[in-house]
Amino acid sequence: MKDKLIITPKTRVLQLLEAYPQLEDVLIGIVPAFKKLQNPMLRRTVARVATLQQAAAIGSVKVDELINRLRREVGQDLYTGSAGNAYNTAKPGWFDAKLVAGEFDARIKLAAGEQPVNQVMADLTAMAAGTVYKLSAPFLPAPLIDKAASLGIRHWLVREGEGSFVVYFYKEE
């Protein structure tokens, strides 16, 4: 038998579940928002791009705690690395509600069984410099935030309550 996947913060959720299907219930127990991954469409899209580091951020758990819990379940050595959840939750100086030039509520598409990633990325790519884009979501959209950051777009994450997040994206001038 070939070696199975070594679980790290950079492991994609889909890789994890393909290598260790028995970890699905463990992952859902730690990060209840991932129960949505039982939807085949979300499993093909979100699980393919979301890393365990992002899953930890979504579940508001420390990444090393998540990794070590999963590793214990499959008999791997404990993870000793350090990786924080680097999402900006402090109101930034660039934020001004008057700069909000676009808004999108991902909850509507998700409720219809559709994936909002392409729409949001198209909106972010097209947004004018010096403007803010408001995204509402039922869970922390960590893969979207990470992708936007790779494009030089800044963010501010606001947790409005259980299952309610708003992310403000800002494209600098």
Q: How many CA atoms lie within 13 A of 26 on its CB side?
A: 18
For residues 126 and 120, what is the distance between their CA atoms, to the nearest angstrom? Answer: 10
The segment with the largest mean pLDDT, out of 9-13, 30-34, 99-103, is: 99-103
- Could you tell me the CA-to-CA distances from 169 to 19, 92, 129, 140, 141 in Å, in that order? 35, 11, 11, 14, 12
Asked if residue 117 and residue 51 are part of one domain, the reply reads: no
> What's the confidence (pLDDT) of residue 130?
95
Same domain, 66 and 129: no
> Is 166 in the same domain as 104?
yes
Q: Phi first, then psi: what are they for 53, rounded to 5°?
A: -65, -40
Give yes or no: residues 18 and 60 share one domain: yes
Report if residue 133 sits inside a domain. yes
Between CA 68 and CA 72 the distance in angstroms is 6
On whether residue 86 sits in a domain, the answer given is no
Same domain, 101 and 36: no
User: Looking at residue 93, what DSSP letter applies?
Assistant: T
**82-98 per-position pLDDT tens digit:** 555 567 888 999 999 99
49 and 107 assigned to the same domain: no
| Chosen domain end from 74, 105, 123 | 74
Q: Residue 34: inside a domain, yes or no? A: yes
Mean pLDDT confidence for 9-32: 90
What is the pLDDT averaged over residues 95-115? Answer: 90
Same domain? 102 vs 134: yes
pLDDT at 2: 42
- How far apart CA 75 and CA 131 sit, in angstroms, is 48
**pLDDT of res. 73:** 93
The answer as to whether 57 is a domain residue is: yes
144 part of a folded domain: yes
Q: Do 43 and 102 sit in the same domain of this protein?
A: no
Give the structural domain span for 160. Answer: 97-171
Judgement on whether residues 128 and 62 belong to the same structural domain of the protein: no
Q: pLDDT of 118-173, one tens digit each? A: 899 999 999 999 999 999 998 888 888 888 888 889 999 898 877 788 999 999 88
Asked if residue 46 has pLDDT above 90, the reply is: no
pLDDT higher than 80, residue 43: no
Q: Do the domain assignments include residue 90?
A: no
Any idea which residue has 């420390």 for tokens? 62
**Overall number of domains in the chain:** 2
